[in-house]
């Protein structure tokens, strides 16, 4: 139990060193992640459509 208490004290002390992002930075990074995820979704959808068409022609469906 003593080790857990010591660990939690160290964790609490490290929280002082954290530099939290500003609201504007957090929003900007969130938008970047959403845009990249949307682009990847579109890319995967296009590739799925293309490969599905190729497989359909090969299989004969």
Confirm whether 49 is domain-assigned. Answer: yes
For residue 25, report the phi and psi dihedrals to the nearest 5 degrees: -65, -45
The total of other beta-carbon atoms located within 10 Å of residue 23's CB is: 8
- Residues 6-41: pLDDT tens digits? 999 999 999 999 999 999 999 999 999 999 999 999
Confirm whether 13 is domain-assigned. Answer: no
DSSP 21-37: PPHHHHHHHHHHHHHHH
Confirm whether 60 is domain-assigned. Answer: yes
Q: Which domain holds residue 45?
A: 20-61
Size (the chain), residues: 61
Whether the predicted model's global pTM rises above the 0.75 cut: no
Number of domains in the chain: 1
Confirm whether 39 is domain-assigned. Answer: yes
């Amino acid at each position: 139990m003593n080790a857990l208490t010591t660990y939690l004290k160290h964790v609490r002390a490290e929280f002082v060193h954290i530099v939290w992002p500003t609201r504007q930075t957090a929003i900007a990074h969130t938008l970047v992640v959403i845009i990249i995820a949307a682009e990847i979704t579109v890319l995967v959808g296009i590739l799925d459509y293309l490969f599905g068409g190729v497989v359909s022609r090969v299989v004969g469906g």
